[in-house]
Structure 1
Amino acid sequence: MKKLLQLIGFASLITVFYFGFTTYPKLDLISGFSSKSMASGHFIDHRSQELIENGDNDIDMIDLATNKIDENGKFATASVYGLKERKAIYRDGLGVTLINDDFDVSKPYLVPKRNKLNNNLPFPYGNNDPKDSVFANIDYAKLNAAVANAFDTKGAKKKRTRSVLVIYKDKIIAEKYDTGFTKNSKILGWSMTKSITSAVFGVLEKQGKFDIYKPAPMPEWANDQRKFITTNDLLHMNSGLEWVENYSTICDATQMLFQAEDMSRSQLEKPAAYKPNTHWYYSSGTTNLLSGILRKQFKTHQEYLDFWYTNLIDKIGMNSMLIETDMAGNYVGSSYGWATTRDWSKFGLLYLHKGNWNGEQILNENWVKYTATPTNTSNGQYGAQFWLNAGGKFPDVPKDMFYCSGYQGQMVAVFPSQDLVVVRMGLKEDPEFDFNGLLSGIIGSLKK
């Protein structure tokens, strides 16, 4: 018996040591992700704690967290076995911010001014219901089968699609939602927000207020080789700046999203690993640096907050959209944009129509072309904060497709040759979710 107890004690000690070396350093990130996700899902989209824990937070390691929601204080907390508690607060107009102990929750804050689209037009150019449309060249049985196949059968958790929306010639031809989600559900786009950030630069370019080909306005880089990095290089993710993005471990990206006070500085402070325009690699830090550059273009913080909405988001009727801020008041342009599926599709339609929205040119046509042109060294897979199919990632899909893409398989796909936009929101991404099958099935339903 004594020997058995010794063995049990030894095994327990090994477990404690294993936990200490492998898990404990990640607790800040685990509880940070969990509390942020809990607060955002609950206060932005009114999801229940159960739905969030079984959906958004049903991720390896993240499911170790114990969460609490404070309705009156509008915040959520999370900890792992009582350790490393983190807090995320909700503020009207700014969404949820993951905070540290030094953050002053009583300090007044600015909120963006919004202009809700108000006309009598049907979707997509107004907020009235879409008009029913039937096209003779669409095989609706085939279309509906392709969309239905994107969803799990009851009780399964393999495909984990939350919504699919298909728009052809500005008309909704298919729309489906998973249980618990509707056309009014706001869903986090994760890195699809990068494409929104790019579009804000496009608006400034259209207004003649910014030249992306000049060196990036970073005084901190004036005395080293980083002074040659242009905003164009940053938009193309080939600045050469050091960065590691791997969400399965502690890295630059996870430390930025779940620990940094000012996310715009995370990439700014990194040294150059390569010369600009010689190495392409993905960096959420780069996009948040771009958000910081945008902030510098305005005299006041209020102007920065307003511009994204008044000159782009609300201009095209994406009234449900909310882009969350960090502790320093920067939009987290890499990751934290929320909107309904229909409003995400409006962003795709803006690019489908070469920057024109119902007769108003929001972006120059050349900007859209620039966005969808392959970045040097990306092998045809990336443009200016948009992903591309030019390199044939999806073999059965037209190569002119370009798309916004986010963690866990968020997608707004634009098909210029088909006059088509497809949105898919969910919790599984390629290759676990068959995007090639979904998109090719939809394309195949359009008779030539």
Structure 2
Amino acid sequence: MKIELFNFVDNSIKLLNNYDEVLNEIAQNAIKLLKDILCDDDNFLNITYRIKSENSLREKIIKNNFFLKYEKPETMMLDLSDLIGIRLECRFIKEEEQLFNIIRQKFNTYVGDGYYKIIDDSPIMLKLSEKQPQIQKNGFEIYKIDGIYKYGKNFFRFELQIKSMVNVFWGEIDHKILYKNYNYMINEGFFKDIMASIKDSLYMVDKQLMILYDHVSSLDASDEESAKEQLNYLLSKIIHDVFSNKIKDDFGFVFNFKNSIDFIVEYLQMKAVKEKEISFGENFINLINKINKIDYSKMNIGEYIEFNKSIKCNDSFMNQISDTIIEIMNKDFSWHLFMKILYQIENSGYEENLQDFLYFLRYKYSLVFLDMADKFKLSKDEVNYVEDVVLKFISSRFKNNYSINYLIEFCLNEIKKGYYEIAFEEDISANYISSKLIARLENYEE
């Protein structure tokens, strides 16, 4: 027969499970409201939530003697300040205060006991009377706000935290190493000193990233493309270093694939902005997070790539290029590595990655033919003729010369250079332009 304490714990766990649907609904409603408030603010990055787990609830009841404090699990449950945890994320430590100030400005209707609402009939109340940021037991600061959500006749409590990327990372380390570590530590002071030192280092990283971000943000509109180039260069360097280290670990040598990485970064940026309608900077942060995860994950570069289905595009150029890449990607190391990098970053199937890449590649080639009509006073049919002839030559040549640099760098650059070479000639025909461009494309050397 169980003692009363554990009966209380078991009943509390059952109640938590019964409340699951309600708690998730409350969290999602609260997130929607906060998103609406912060959606136009550049400092706001992301918002997440969690519902207290069974193990966490069980631990809290026993550690805090809630069985002695509360007669019923229902009373205890509605009194838990962190039954729901909501986290607002921003990029830098400096922005935590800015997000808090926005929330304080919006929640300006006082309802008593230090709590505020946006409007009288809002179900959400935030306790904004307390000094922020609060000081934690470990001595560090945190923006932590108590909240209440009115659901029917009940009032459910939640905890709202505002954290920068550095503090999100730090919080996970601190929680697992110190707060959740119950092993007896003879030198607990030593561990705390080391953690404090790590915290200082993370703050330094935050300041350096802030300087970089402020520098890019300060560039005026005329320098927007320059700013993007700088960010892409930085991202390319990070990806290159991560995969270079993995190649060296697996094979013992360093491999130069800078051009491939540059092209991949441009592709990923354009794809993300187009599909998700997010800003260039937001995607930069997302990609950095993905690369960080890859850096700590295992990756077998030499493992054979298998396709489960064929790739069919609505363009003969893409189909021919696709057939060649599939044929040689397990033979040519550059293409093999290219596909592995896309696979790791995109976290989707090889077939989908290749197809999306081919559409981007086709788009890049289309761009170099777009201004032909204006440059050479050609009709749409004449431009289509030149494009068709040149792309047929490239796809045919690529079957035998399957260099990745030939496809993603040399051909694109030579077509652009070819335009300048014949720009001032008279009586230029579509046939003449085609022959001139193909003559340039024949001169490729590894």
Q: What TM-score do you get using the length of structure 1 for normalisation?
A: 0.25
Higher relative contact order (CA 8 A, sep 6+): 1
- Asked which structure has the greater CA Rg, the reply is 2
TM-score by length of 2: 0.25
Normalized per residue, which structure has more helix?
2
